[in-house]
């Protein structure tokens, strides 16, 4: 991106009140700016609360239609029985209650822009009407046989997976590809964590002016709490949290303990709750790599447990008894003829009929795998201590990802669930 393009994006952010510098946000904004001067249909995708309507207004206000009318319509908020009338109009007497003829939005906003929010909730019958407008600009009022024409630009948005709706028969495939001429994906707040604190400060300043109070501030640990929360409601949820803090708290310097006590749900996440020290730009991505390593290690430990159990079953091996409350390992049992607190090992493996040998006293002795005793079936084993260095494991994981994708950094970064910029920095850091 050139210096001129960067300055252009900054001016657009200031004009439309967009806060953030994340890579995903700037990519979506850049796409919106490029497509605005055209008449192409745009499908804006993103979770609820990410600001999809703001992008529709940016496209309209930067387009040649900026002096014409703009309307945002929530397709999920209009009843199925009246949505055709709302969008395309109706003739007098077309249905009960139609006392006069009525122009629909596509007729009233001719030459302008219509933003169809929650397009995935539109009924199938209405989808057929919309497809005809997108292809030819023609439509028919409800209760009429006269074909009318309109020249509107259609922008659509959804927070659901339209491809899944196509597979379930709830959305037309031809309409999907007609709407998806230019897709714009607005990232969720959890995908742009570097912007969370900037948004918090902006909302805090706005509410301090609105309520004529001192802006609330966060200490370093409280900042980590909000940055590590997943924000399922996205920007809308964050704005509500800041407003609650601005109105309901007497403290204006918010600590992590106070914040968690005031809003316990902020700790509902898979990441550690708190840590000390100042955050840096790559911290979250590095933590993601660490957790990926730990999850893979846990899977390997589980596989190792299964292997040990299979060895015990197939070789009639015995393992020492373990304290109660640890059900993950088979228990050493006594011979069935010896009345005691212990049972035969075959009871542990349901369906196994092997007879387990006992000593002269009727007790089963554990077999030590890997001992060098005479008659042992196993050779000595060398115990290699696994390194627990985060850097070493991180480096190894990156090497595996690069090897798997044959050096393609973009694919490797996607596999590691980090940004390509962070991966490039790690490659230079580890001299890969």
Residue 373, C-beta contacts closer than 8 angstroms, at least 6 positions apart: none
What is the token pair recorded at 83?
A: 């949505």
How many residues would you count in the chain?
A: 432
Name the pLDDT band for 406 (thresholds 50, 70, 90). Answer: confident
Query: Which residue has better confidence, 292 or 178?
Result: 178
Q: Provide the pLDDT for residue 389.
A: 67
Q: Say how far apart CA 229 and CA 227 lie, in whole Å.
A: 6
Helix or strand run (H / E) with residue 254? strand 253-254
Per-residue pLDDT of 119-153, as tens digits, reads: 999 999 999 999 999 999 999 999 999 999 999 99
Q: What is the mean pLDDT of residues 242-268?
A: 88
Sheet with 153-158: strands ordered across:
70-74, 113-117, 153-158, 42-45, 182-185
Which residue bears the tokens 């709750």?
Answer: 273
Q: Provide the pLDDT for residue 276.
A: 46
Comparing CA positions, the residue from 323, 294, 300, 293 lying closest to residue 394 is 293
Name the pLDDT band for 277 (thresholds 50, 70, 90). Answer: very low
Per-residue pLDDT of 106-128, as tens digits, reads: 999 999 999 999 999 999 999 99
Name the pLDDT band for 188 (thresholds 50, 70, 90). Answer: very high
Q: What is the mean pLDDT of residues 406-413?
A: 82
Least trusted range by pLDDT, from 8-22, 72-86, 379-393, 408-422: 379-393
Residue 236, C-beta contacts closer than 8 angstroms, at least 6 positions apart: 48, 49
Number of H helices, E strands in the chain: 16, 11
Q: Provide the pLDDT for residue 383.
A: 52
Per-residue pLDDT of 339-348, as tens digits, reads: 444 444 444 4
Please give the mean pLDDT across all residues of the chain: 81
Given a contact cutoff of 8 angstroms between Cβ atoms, the answer to whether 144 and 94 are in contact is yes
Per-residue pLDDT of 65-107, as tens digits, reads: 999 999 999 999 999 889 999 999 999 988 888 889 999 999 9
- Would you call 182 exposed, middle or buried from its count of C-beta atoms within 10 A (0-12, 13-18, 19+)? middle
48 has pLDDT over 50: yes
Q: Say how far apart CA 121 and CA 8 lie, in whole Å.
A: 35
Comparing CA positions, the residue from 10, 50, 413 lying closest to residue 196 is 50
| 3-state SS, residue 116 | strand
Alpha-carbon torsion (117, 179, 90, 72), positive or negative:
positive
Q: What is the mean pLDDT of residues 246-260?
A: 89
Given a contact cutoff of 8 angstroms between Cβ atoms, the answer to whether 305 and 327 are in contact is no
300 has pLDDT over 50: yes
In this structure, what are the phi and psi dihedrals at residue 235, rounded to the nearest 5 degrees?
-65, -35
Residue ranges and CATH numbers for the domains of the chain are: 3-187 (3.40.50.300), 191-267 (1.10.8.60), 389-429 (1.10.10)
Rounded percentage of the chain residues whose pLDDT exceeds 70: 75
Q: Provide the pLDDT for residue 381.
A: 52
Helix or strand run (H / E) with residue 6? helix 3-16
Per-residue pLDDT of 1-42, as tens digits, reads: 666 666 788 899 999 999 999 999 999 999 999 999 999 999
């Amino acid at each position: 991106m050139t210096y001129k393009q960067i300055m252009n994006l900054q001016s657009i952010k200031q004009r439309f009140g967009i806060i953030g510098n994340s890579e995903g946000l700037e990519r979506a904004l850049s796409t919106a700016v490029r497509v605005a001067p055209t008449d192409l249909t745009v499908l804006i995708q993103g979770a609820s609360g990410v600001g999809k309507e703001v992008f529709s207004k940016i496209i309209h206000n930067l387009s040649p239609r900026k002096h014409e009318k703009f309307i945002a319509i929530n397709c999920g908020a209009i009843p199925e029985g009246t949505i055709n009338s709302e969008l395309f109009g109706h003739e007098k007497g077309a249905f009960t209650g139609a006392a006069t003829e009525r122009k629909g939005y596509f007729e009233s906003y001719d030459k302008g822009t219509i933003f169809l929010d929650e397009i995935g909730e539109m009924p199938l019958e209405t989808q057929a009407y919309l497809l005809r407008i997108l292809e030819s600009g023609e439509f028919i009022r409800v209760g009429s046989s006269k074909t009318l024409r309109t020249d509107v630009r259609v922008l659509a948005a959804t927070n659901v997976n339209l491809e899944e709706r196509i597979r379930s028969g709830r959305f037309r495939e031809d309409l999907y590809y007609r709407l998806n001429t230019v897709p714009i994906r607005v990232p969720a707040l959890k995908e742009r964590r570097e912007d969370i604190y900037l948004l918090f400060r902006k909302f805090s300043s706005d509410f301090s002016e609105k309520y004529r109070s001192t802006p609330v501030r966060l200490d370093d640990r409280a900042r980590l709490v909000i940055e590590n929360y997943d924000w399922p409601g996205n920007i809308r949820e964050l704005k509500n949290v800041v407003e609650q803090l601005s109105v309901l708290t007497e403290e204006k310097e918010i600590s992590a303990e106070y914040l968690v006590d005031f809003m316990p749900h902020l700790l509902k996440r898979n990441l550690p709750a708190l840590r000390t020290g100042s955050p840096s730009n790559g911290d979250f991505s590095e933590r993601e790599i660490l957790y990926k390593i730990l999850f893979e290690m846990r899977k390997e430990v589980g596989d190792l447990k299964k292997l040990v159990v299979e060895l015990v079953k197939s070789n009639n091996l015995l393992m020492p008894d373990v304290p109660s409350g640890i059900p993950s390992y088979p228990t050493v049992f006594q011979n069935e003829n010896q009345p005691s607190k212990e049972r035969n090992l075959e009871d542990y493996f349901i369906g196994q009929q092997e007879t387990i040998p006992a000593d002269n006293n009727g007790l089963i002795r554990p077999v030590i795998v890997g001992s060098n005793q005479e008659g042992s079936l196993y050779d000595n084993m060398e115990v290699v201590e696994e390194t627990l260095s985060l850097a070493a494991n991180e480096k190894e994981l990156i090497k595996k990802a690069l090897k798997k994708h044959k050096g393609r950094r973009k694919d490797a970064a996607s596999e590691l669930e980090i940004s390509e910029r962070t991966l490039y920095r790690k490659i230079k850091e580890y001299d890969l």
